[in-house]
């Protein structure tokens, strides 16, 4: 009997030790995820995975009665970044308890009336007003100490700088960037890798800028969600009356509905339908009791207030079969894993792909081909793998790059493993050269954006410039790609066919030769009578004699065509093109050897490039700055005191309007 009891005690002790080890591991993982999300504006774990691990840690703490130092269940947030001054909050900003169960919301309410509102996904800000004017804005920070961002708050889109109420006022709200503004900002960024991942990260970085001019351009908005204090005001202990007071002061308040236990489920359903088209990022709802006196009596735990609870959407999940992992190389050398699975319906759309982010997640999910997996849309938007039911763990990262066939290596950063191509000449790393090749002033291939090129190169469809003119061979692959279809594919083919007709200066410019812009390419072509063989075999001395070229440009130009790989690239390309030779008549070269500067707005030409082309066609050269070599400065405001006008006057250079230039210079014969 004693031996059996000793054995049971030993098993219990081992179980407790195992639980403590698991708690330590969970604490570390959750803290790393929180630090990345709140302090570094990056995401290393999905919301679903974070919630699952957090709930497991809570269960272990309840079972063991132990809460480890640093546990995310026992403290709020992380320290604010160092770049901005800090300030302690008037009252601590606690986190909210959360649930995905509607029945739990009814139980939470009991007989009480409450406010159900959006839980906006941005950056929480505390505003202070004194004598009717905005005095201070502070971020949430770690809940006790935040960063002062007053100058940035002043340029938010919708914050009142002055209000009617003259007492001291403190309120809290969420700074957000709408999905439509987020899309606009990302559309203005040409480089795919530089685009922002989500509105929350963009908002967080925008609010914490050191230069508020950048903040102003990001269209940050503020939505009040609670009143902290209003000097001398009484609201009959009603939270709703506080919100209406803030609305009367000119604040945009978070959208809400007043509910009871009988109506809360119906109200949740209304919000659930609305979130599908809601332009403001939201990751759930907040339920707060209306009776403030009762709320005060309830108090709070060390982490959560007892009068409010967050409701998070129960993500719709679907079971499917993993078909493959597609490894896609990027310009940085990073090779991203993307899961391809049998199509399933989620949140009203069909999905068949989900990013797996990195090698660590592939390993953690123990993925294998043919595995049954559960997929969902994070925040009802981004497809993710929630769980692997099979866990065959049979997928290994490729040892060769899918683009160039070069060796790969796994690199570990902050305990996260990622796969990289280590070949410096990998085509995926040459995205910039392909982007220049297809740009408007070069080959002008309509339908081939930088992001599209990156996808095609990542799939190994493009290795050489000439491959762009054979994308018709990859119809099935391209049509099935995300963002593509038959119509987009046909439009792309049309753009490619039109790009076959080009000029020699455009071709030279498209090759990305160092220091060779379109203007220099035109000068070189004219100097060699558009004879490509003479151009590619020209020596440094011969090139240097061309006016405006010089030894540095000549050396780089000659070196380019001395490279056998570069010559091979051109040889492959030439059969795909129809090169139109622009033979300007001698009498049309009315601006031969003239150096011209254009400044200010134009009236007759669409833009400066249009006028520049007209000048270069007639033998002239356009530069960006006025110097002793300049012959004419074109400026419709001839009397202005701009730096270029001043310089031209000092050097005795004619300053002419666009109209005068057309009449006196372009019309010469």
SS (H, E, C) 397-462: CCCECCCCCCEEEEEEECCEEEEEECCCCCHHHHHHHHHHHHCCCCCCCCCCCHHHHHHHHHCCCC
What tokens appear for 642 in the block?
């701009």
Contact 177, 122 (CB under 8 A): yes
Residue whose token pair is 């179980």: 15
SS (H, E, C) 70-91: CCCCCCCCCCCCCCCCEEECCC
Q: Which residues pair with 355 in a beta bridge?
A: 338
Burial label for 56, CB within 10 Å (0-12, 13-18, 19+), is middle
CA–CA separation, 625 and 645 (whole Å):
11
Is 646 designated active site?
no
Q: What H or E segment, with its residue span, contains residue 1?
A: none
Q: β-strands 595-598, 621-623: how paired? A: parallel
- 3-state secondary structure at position 502: strand
Classify residue 67 by its DSSP letter: -
Q: Provide DSSP, 247-310.
A: HHTT--B--EEEE-TTTHHHHHHHHHHHTTT-SS-EEEEEEEESBHHHHHHH-B-SS-BTTEEE
Instruction: Locate the DSSP E strands across 102-234.
Output: 114-120, 123-130, 133-139, 145-147, 169-176, 221-230
Number of other residues whose CB lies within 10 A of the CB of residue 271 = 21
Contact 431, 450 (CB under 8 A): yes
CA–CA separation, 64 and 68 (whole Å):
11
Tell me how long the chain is: 669
Handedness of CA 357, 468, 498, 529 (dihedral sign): positive
Given the residues 119, 429, 455, 621, the one annotated as active site: 119
Contact 464, 433 (CB under 8 A): no
Backbone φ, ψ for residue 178 (5° rounding): -70, 160
CA–CA separation, 351 and 540 (whole Å):
57
Rounded to 5°, angle at Cα 604 from 668 and 516 = 75
Contact 124, 134 (CB under 8 A): no
Instruction: Indicate which residues carry an active-site annotation.
Output: 119
């Amino acid at each position: 009997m004693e031996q059996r009891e000793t054995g049971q005690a030993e098993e219990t002790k081992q179980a407790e030790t195992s639980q403590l080890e698991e708690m330590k591991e969970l604490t570390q993982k959750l803290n790393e995820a929180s630090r990345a999300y709140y302090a570094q504006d990056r995401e290393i774990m999905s919301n679903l995975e974070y919630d699952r691990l957090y709930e497991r840690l809570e269960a272990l703490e309840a079972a063991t009665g132990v809460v480890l130092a640093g546990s995310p269940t026992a403290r709020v947030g992380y320290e604010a970044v160092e770049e901005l001054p800090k300030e302690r909050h008037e009252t601590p900003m606690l986190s909210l308890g959360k649930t995905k169960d509607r029945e739990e919301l009814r139980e939470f309410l009991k007989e009480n009336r409450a406010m159900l509102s959006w839980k906006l996904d941005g950056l929480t800000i505390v505003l202070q007003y004194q004598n009717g004017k905005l005095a201070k804005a502070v971020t949430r920070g770690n809940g006790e100490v935040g960063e002062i961002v007053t100058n940035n708050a002043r340029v938010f889109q919708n914050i009142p700088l002055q209000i009617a109420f003259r007492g001291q006022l403190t309120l809290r709200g969420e700074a957000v960037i709408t999905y439509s503004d987020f899309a606009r900002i990302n559309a203005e960024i040409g480089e795919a890798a530089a685009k922002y991942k989500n509105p929350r990260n963009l908002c967080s970085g925008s609010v914490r800028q050191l230069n508020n001019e950048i903040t102003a351009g990001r269209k940050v908005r503020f939505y009040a969600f609670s009143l902290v204090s209003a000097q001398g005001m009484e609201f009959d202990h009603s939270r709703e009356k506080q919100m209406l007071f803030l609305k009367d002061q000119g604040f945009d308040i978070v959208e809400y509905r007043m509910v009871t236990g009988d109506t809360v489920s119906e109200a949740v359903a209304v919000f659930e339908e609305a979130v599908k088209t809601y332009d403001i990022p939201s990751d759930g709802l907040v339920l707060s009791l209306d009776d403030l006196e009762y709320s005060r009596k309830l108090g709070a735990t060390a982490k959560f207030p007892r009068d409010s609870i967050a409701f998070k959407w129960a993500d719709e999940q679907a079971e499917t079969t993993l078909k493959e992992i597609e490894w896609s190389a990027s310009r940085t050398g990073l090779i991203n894993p993307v899961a391809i699975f049998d199509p399933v319906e989620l949140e009203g759309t069909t999905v068949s792909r989900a990013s797996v982010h990195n090698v660590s997640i592939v390993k953690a999910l123990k993925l294998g081909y043919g595995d049954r997996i559960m997929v969902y849309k994070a925040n009802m938007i981004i497809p993710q793998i929630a769980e692997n039911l099979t866990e065959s763990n049979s997928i290994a990262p490729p040892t060769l790059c899918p683009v160039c066939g070069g060796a790969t290596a796994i690199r570990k950063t902050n305990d996260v493993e990622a796969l990289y191509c280590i070949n410096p000449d990998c085509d995926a790393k040459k995205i910039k050269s392909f982007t220049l090749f297809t740009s408007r002033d070069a080959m002008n291939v309509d339908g081939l954006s930088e992001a599209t090129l990156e996808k095609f190169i990542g799939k190994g469809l493009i290795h050489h410039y000439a491959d762009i003119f054979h994308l018709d061979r990859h119809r099935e692959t391209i049509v099935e790609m995300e963002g593509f279809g038959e119509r987009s594919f046909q439009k792309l083919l049309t753009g490619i066919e039109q790009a076959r007709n080009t000029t020699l200066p455009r071709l030279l410019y498209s090759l990305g030769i160092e220091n060779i812009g379109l203007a220099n390419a035109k000068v070189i072509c004219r100097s060699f009578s558009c004879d490509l063989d003479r151009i590619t075999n020209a020596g440094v001395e011969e090139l240097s004699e061309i006016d405006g070229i010089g030894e540095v440009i000549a050396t780089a130009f000659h070196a380019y065509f001395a490279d056998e790989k570069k010559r091979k690239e051109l040889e492959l390309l030439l059969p795909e093109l129809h090169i139109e030779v622009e033979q300007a008549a001698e009498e049309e070269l009315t601006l031969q050897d003239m150096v011209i500067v254009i400044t200010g707005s134009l009236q007759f030409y669409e833009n400066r490039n249009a006028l520049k082309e007209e000048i270069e066609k007639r033998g002239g050269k356009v530069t960006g700055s006025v110097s002793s070599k300049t012959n004419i400065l074109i400026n419709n405001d001839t009397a202005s005191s701009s730096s270029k006008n001043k310089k031209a006057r000092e050097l005795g250079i004619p300053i002419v309007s666009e109209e005068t230039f057309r009449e006196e210079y372009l019309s010469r014969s």
